[in-house]
Amino acid sequence: MARPCRLRKKKICVKSIRPVLFVLLLLAVPAAVHAQFDYITNADGSSITITNYTGIGGAVTIPTDINGLTVTSIAEGAFMTNDSLTSVTIPGSVTSIGEYAFDDCANLTSVTIADGVASLGNYAFEYCASLINVTIPGSVTNLGWSLFYRCSNLTTLTIANGITNIGENAFNDCPALANVIIPGSVTSIGQSAFEDCPALTNVTMPGGVTSLGDFAFEDTGLTRVTIPGRTTNMGLGTFSFCGSLTNVTIPGNVTTIGLNAFVNCTSLTRVTIADGVANIEAFAFQNCTHLASVTIPGSVTNIGADAFIACPGLTGVFFGGNMPALGTDVFSYDLKLKIYYLSDTAGWADFPAESDVSPVLVLWNPLIQGSGARFGIQTNRFGFNITNGSTTNIPIVVEACTNLANPVWVPLLTNTLTNSFYFSDSQWTNYPSRFYGLGFP
């Protein structure tokens, strides 16, 4: 004899009294045959919120309606710690998924969220250790705190256009996450959003991102980073401990390179800092052991303590303006380090000597020949002499552009200038006009 099944208020329940009755109920409430939901009726009287799941698990599809009432939300913790759940499909009728809704569902491998879902609560899918792939529709505007925190097998992430904010810790400690494309609608990436994602080697950030939170990409596998041109805020430790990062470009709208921003980026060899950056805070590039040279634009007015400390490969620092205010021990001074400055800039007589081995200050003042027998076309090449206006060898790069009103300078040659050097350009005839200049390497 089958055990009786007591009907509870606002709960779908299937009784197995007779085969005929089973078939009739199956036709009447097909969504409830494989899954059981507790729910409450919302204030509008026509929609409901699922508050609990007591089904057998497996692949679960959230119904769009139950007993004629539209399912519009999933309550806080509704599926929390349910180890029987393997996949879930959430329809577009659901506009809100509450905090901790699927928290710690250890065997959940796949989540399908239909377009129409607008809100994903904080911690909604954290600790889902078996979750492999997630697609987030554009109807969601905000990815909440710790949304997929410690989803240790999450490898594929698709974020649709429409989302504007990636919240704090949203994908923190997702060690299998390898590639992320951030849509153009995103304007801010929160604190520790992708921290501790060592497999993450590539991130495409759209031009609309204006804010990168503290530790946003700390300890990831990123190799190259171009920070969007509209970014104004780059927080504490944003790219710290990115041991594979080799190349970074920082736009001029970033007024401050934050404390510890690139500390322990031991593979970093090239840093491009655009004019407009005003502050480089303490420890910003500490222990970047492979950084060989860096150019500091004239807009920089302050460099914090130990900003380039423990960078043993650093041999040249090129300043494009007046000497900025310097904190203590900005550089690891040794016999290899040379500080280059321009002749029409001020403050260098007071450059601090902070160790027994002071850096070598070098006036960067090469001169370009503007007339004379060897200036101009020589044997179908355009050329000119470059002489050293300094007292020591100086590195130079010869650059060219075709439009001085909107110049795009292209490097043609990098060289170490001793006394003089003759530069010749065999490609000059390929351009209606070409302008030349000297720059820092």
**Strand locations in 297-432 (E):** 302-303, 316-319, 325-326, 338-342, 360-364, 366-368, 376-378, 381-388, 394-401, 410-417, 420-425
Q: State residue 357's pLDDT score.
A: 59
pLDDT in tens, 267-315: 999 999 999 999 999 999 999 999 999 999 999 999 999 999 999 999 8
pLDDT in tens, 154-173: 998 888 999 999 999 999 99
Q: State residue 20's pLDDT score.
A: 34
Q: How far apart are CA 24 and CA 220, in angstroms?
A: 55
Tokens of 58: 């497996």
Tokens of 142: 């905000």
Q: State residue 8's pLDDT score.
A: 29
Q: State residue 172's pLDDT score.
A: 97
Q: How far apart are CA 79 and CA 325, in angstroms?
A: 56
Tokens of 155: 């490898």
DSSP 428: G
Q: How far apart are CA 242 and CA 203, in angstroms?
A: 13
HSE toward the beta carbon, residue 296, CA cutoff 13 A:
27
- Domains in the chain, CATH or no CATH each: 211-364 (3.80.10.10), 366-439 (2.60.40)
Q: State residue 233's pLDDT score.
A: 87
Residues across the chain? 441
In the chain, the amino acid numbered 436 is Y
Q: State residue 17's pLDDT score.
A: 29
Tokens of 197: 């994602």
96 within 8 A of 119, measured Cβ to Cβ: yes
Q: State residue 1's pLDDT score.
A: 35
Q: Given phi > 0 = left and psi -120 to 50 = alpha, else beta, which region is 158?
A: beta
- Specify the residue for token string 């200038």: 417
pTM of the model: 0.83
Q: How far apart are CA 17 and CA 32, in angstroms?
A: 16
Q: How many helices (H) and strands (E) does the chain have?
A: 1, 36
Q: State residue 133's pLDDT score.
A: 86
Q: State residue 2's pLDDT score.
A: 38
223 within 8 A of 202, measured Cβ to Cβ: yes
Q: How far apart are CA 319 and CA 64, in angstroms?
A: 63
Regions of the chain where pLDDT drops below 50: 1-35
